[in-house]
Amino acid sequence: MTPVLRKDWLRVIRLAEGEGFKPPSAEDFVLPPIFGDNAFTTKPIFLAFLAVILISSFFILSARKAAVVPSKLQYAGESVYGFVRNNLAKDVIGHEFMRFVPYLFTLFTFILVNNLFGIIPFLQFPTMSRVSFPYVLAIITFLVFHYVGVRKHGAFKYIKEIMFMPGVPKVAYILITPLELLTFFLVRPLTLSLRLFANMFAGHLLLMVFFLGGEHLLQGVIGLKLISPFAFLIGVALTFFEFMVQCLQAYIFTLLAALYIAGALADEH
Amino acid sequence: MEGTLNLVGFGLAAIGPGIATGLIFAAYINGVARQPEARSVLQPIAFLGFALAEALALFGLVLAFVL
């Protein structure tokens, strides 16, 4: 496109847009309280409680009439449980895995359901796109894996194994010790939470751009109206992509939590 | 045009971790394809490496918002 043509094209869009399109931004994630001024009654908090109710009622129902020949509901519940127990806990942690299955299972289902709220009609807000939720989950995971390590090795030996990795030349400790300390006490919890937050935040923003943009194009001149179905189409395709990302992020968070626990339990790092 | 150059910087900074993540998973897939029974050994290593590479991109994201 030549510069002149491009300028004309931009002017046409600007004329068609009227007051101009305000793209969605980080401010769209700050939702007002539902009841009065109480900051504890925002949508994400209700969604978190809804997730707890949904998950617990689903698994209580599916386990209530447990039989040798499972019903459909029991099968669904057990396959989720089996996935976390076998693929996440058993493969990663090893022979002591049964102690950590309840925690990992809670983590996985809670994150998964909260993420899926991002694409469920009428709810359509991933709880984890508010950064405080992933922070809390990461802090709990941080406490769990350090507690496990200290219980297993004793505080002194545990810290020593983190700081002085065996099998490394003595000179290299100048570099490795600060890096290892930083990794274990700062980078791990920080990245664990930020990875989940960033994915949910970016995904929700992406969907908003395409759906709000498509809606805005509909209000434009006839040429823009013709383009808007494509924006909606891409939005729908991205919704399926988001579904994949949401499942993947729940899996990765739980897998990394299991990996960190396994690392704290291991005899030599 | 409105906006902040930070986001352009973040886009540039994300190239490195993007390539790194691709390389890690390429190696992981290669390893599993050659030796499927090594999967459970390779998986933690691959994901720890991925977490480390991803951390750099996440630092970039944080700095893009903070600065």
Among B51, B58, B65, the residue with its CB nearest the CB of A256 is: B51
- Yes or no, beta carbons of A187 and B54 under 8 Å apart: no
Q: Which of A213, A218, A232 is nearest to A23 (CA)?
A: A213
**Residues A194, A188: Cα–Cα separation, whole Å:** 10
Smallest Cα distance from A66 to chain B, Å = 31
Suggest the residue from A22, A30, A253, A256 to mutate for an interface test with chain B (most B CBs closer than 10 A): A256
Q: Which of B55, B1, B45 is nearest to B24 (CA)?
A: B45
| pLDDT, tens digit only, all 269 positions of chain A | 455 555 565 555 555 555 567 778 888 888 888 887 777 888 999 999 999 999 999 999 988 877 788 888 899 999 999 999 998 898 888 888 999 999 999 999 999 999 999 999 888 899 999 999 999 999 999 999 999 999 999 989 898 888 888 788 888 888 889 988 988 899 899 999 999 999 999 899 889 988 988 888 888 778 888 888 998 999 999 999 999 999 999 999 999 999 999 989 887 64
B61 touches chain A (CB under 8 A): yes
- What tokens does B53 get? 């590479």
Among B40, B44, B55, the residue with its CB nearest the CB of A187 is: B55
Q: Which residue of B has its CA nearest to A94?
A: B40
Chain B hits for A198, CB-CB cut-off 8 Å, are 58, 61
Query: Among 2.90.10.10, 1.25.40.10, 3.40.630.30, 1.20.20.10, what is the CATH number of B5-66?
Result: 1.20.20.10
**Could you tell me the pTM of the whole model?**
0.85
